[in-house]
Amino acid sequence: MATTKRAKARKPSKEPAARARGSTLVVVESPTKAKTIKKYLGSGYVVKASVGHVMDLPKSKMGVDIEHGFKPVYEVIDSKKKVVAELKSAAKGATLLLLATDPDREGEAIAWHVYEQLKRTKVPAQRILFNEITKKAIQEAIAKPLQLNRDLYDAQQARRVLDRLVGYQISPILWKKVRRGLSAGRVQSVAVRLVVEREEEIARFVAVEYWSIEADLKAELPPQFRAKLIKLDGEKIELGSEAVTKPLVEEIGRQTFIVKDVIRKERRRNAPPPFITSKLQQDAANRLGFTAKKTMTLAQRLYEGVDLGADGQTALITYMRTDSVRLSPDAITFARGYIAGRWGKDYLPPEPVHYRTKKSAQDAHEAIRPTSVEHPPERVKPFLERDMYRLYELIWNRFIACQMVPAVFDQTTADITAGRATFRATGQILKFAGYLAVYGQEAESPPEEAGAEKMEGEDEEKGDVSRQLPPLAEGQKLELVQLIPEQHFTQPPPRFTEASLVKELEEKGIGRPSTYAAILSTIQDKEYVEKKEGRFHPTDLGKIVTELLLGAFPKVMDVQFTARMEEELDEVEEGKIGWTSVLDEFYAPFKLSLAAAEAQMRDVKREETPTDLVCEKCGSPMVIKWGRMGRFLACSGYPDCKNTKDFIEEGGKIKVVEDLPTDEVCPTCGKPMVNKRGRFGRFLACSDYPTCKTTRPITLKGVVCPDCGGGLAERKSRFGKSFFGCVNYPKCKFAAWDRPLAEPCPKCGKPYLLAKYSRKEGPYIACPDKECGYRRESPAEMQPAALP
């Protein structure tokens, strides 16, 4: 098959499209996608799935020939040898091979590797691309086949080799200096740095006191309203203490409140653009509570197709990895038709709405949108899992809303004088819903949308815009109900959530839409960060690894350098530069840093930090050491004394986490058992450790495993999230995220109930069987904060 070497755009294949009418083998990535595509093709087509990548660099070695142009040494993945054999067998009976993998770098690499494995069959091969899995899109792609794109493949290859060079050469150094099993990544390490540096900002933050004064006022007609002090003697005011605020309150309380001026304006808020990958991840996190990984998994399934009963396997959304807000003319037409039919012409702009895509974006694909107006959420809801439906509804609503007119508000701003003080009250009424009729729910801390405009005046000092003001006129006297002085303190920058970390990565140019979910998953899998109450905290391991890498590899860890590398990979894809030149430029200084790190990086494994604590067993000083579970206190008399303890730092001081005594005795030696804290939560251990190493999990009282009758214990996942699992694991794999209660379901007889919690509804108790549906309010003692 002919391939383009430095082509900036794909060229049509020289093979005639008519060949596709014979016995044709179509190769895609997933079985689900294969099933959906097969629905639209005739009997002359055989559709097979590669099940992802079929070739990769070997796991056991570098797999890159650095001395000879960074040549990668690919091999068939062990688990894919059977798949490759099946593809070869299918190709023998075919007259044409259509490579129909995803339209991005990874998809192109899969296509190339499948072709490499099948080219000996001498079956003519063509590349076909489609942004959505619909009959029309697939037929158009087959009618206009393309060549494999060498530039796109080289961009993927450059990223893969870069990541291998970094990971396989830095990780062994971390094994020697910190602990075995650690890994470093070109992008993941920079993401961890962002989390670590945010934590350092929080630690350095010093809260500053400030005060506000608000007034509850009455006019001739209701409602009562509130205004905020904004100026004193015509100048903006800053109240730094109660000593300043209290006399001012007394002074203002003696004044007459008079309306100085009233400004009434019509404000418009434009609809946000259709989803790109990062914004989908952010909104799904803010509105639905989904992780980036969950969002992309569900989106993948919606793209590949779901069974819609009589309609069969049907793809519901377009390709979900994109940073373009472009929409096809057909998509805009069907959205406008749907809006006119559902809400009427008042909700439809005179002309289609077009959004600006960022200059740095790859505009090869459309924005994420539904594939057809024939599949509104309410119609497909019976065929979708709850969370898949919620994500589809979010995508549908965003797409429809982006082609609707702005929301219109009537906003009134009144300045009110009280002696030398000026207060401001702002009220806002929704005059016309516009796009908010579809996309009205506000996300928590909504990110700024690309291409969307803020409502005019949103950044003004505006008080409470959700309140309605009474009729007010210039010169009108108002009645003071009360003055409300309130103390405040400045807040540190917030820790990252899934949504805000994706936003930060996007804004700083770290990674690409297809990699955000993997980055967030990896830094948790590697235990460099953990999520607590929905926000990322760096672990001790994440902090020490970041510190070491910053010292030894400042360029690799530099945010701007990492962003520039992404830009260079884009330039490889566009055919502007060769992929090996990117690697040459990177590797020369990197090689020097590797040599320096081997010799100069701190050996954390062997470090011992002195403390003022004394070992109660032998009297030797206790030191802080680094181990597999993180930092711990150890006796400096080791190996003669093996005393160790957990500790925490509070206010810069070390506090020993004491073992808690219990009434139980060790079944092995008869000594008392103690309640200890470990990596995965608390457990019982013999007090005579290390002479006796007997341990067992702490089981819930009165609750037994519904599968095997064993005990249930609270554990910690590798992400730091609590769950409840059977003590007989791995023989029994029962596990529940919510705390089981020793109470049968009064409705269906299930042997236990679950203590659950949701952000919207708070704590409640429910049956684990969703089909049963039993639920009731949770008593205060069962709320999450009170659970042991």
Q: Which residues are part of the catalytic machinery?
A: 319
List C-alpha distances in Å: 401 to 347, 372, 376, 420: 10, 15, 14, 46
Q: Which residues of 648-662 are buried (b: 16+ CB within 10 A; e: fewer)?
A: eeeeeebeeeebeee
Rg (CA), the chain: 31
Q: Report the run of H or E that residue 485 belongs to, with start and end.
A: strand 477-489
Annotate 187-230 with three-state secondary structure.
CHHHHHHHHHHHHHHHHHCCCCEEEEEEEEEECCCCCCEEEEEE
Contact predicate 191/519, CB 8 Å: yes
Q: Which of 378, 398, 400 is nearest to 389 (CA)?
A: 378
Crossing angle of helices 188-204 and 498-508, rounded to 10°? 110
CA quadruple 584, 589, 595, 598: dihedral sign: negative
Please list, in sequence order, all residues whose beta carbon lies within 8 angstroms of the beta carbon of residue 237, skipping any fewer than 6 positions away.
229, 230, 231
Q: How far apart are CA 426 and CA 410, in angstroms?
A: 11
Token representation of residue 588: 């020369």
Q: What is the DSSP string of 669-729?
A: T-PEEEEEEETTEEEEEETTTTT---EEEPEEEEEE-TTTS-EEEEEE-TTS-EEEEETTT
Amino acid letter, 277: T
Residue corresponding to tokens 């796009």: 435
Tokens matching residue 435:
């796009």
What is the rounded CA–CA span in Å between residue 298 and residue 295?
A: 5
Rounded CA separation 504/506 (Å)? 5
Question: Does an H or E element contain 118, and which?
Answer: helix 105-118
Nearest Cα neighbor of 501 from 487, 515, 485 is 515
Q: Are strands 125-127 and 306-307 parallel, antiparallel or unpaired?
A: unpaired
| CA 702 remoteness from chain centre | 38
First to last CA, the chain: 65
Q: Where are the alpha helices (DSSP H) in 509-575?
A: 516-525, 540-552, 559-573
3-class DSSP state for residue 555?
A: coil
Q: Which amino acid is at 715?
A: R
| Pair 415, 426: CB distance under 8 Å | no
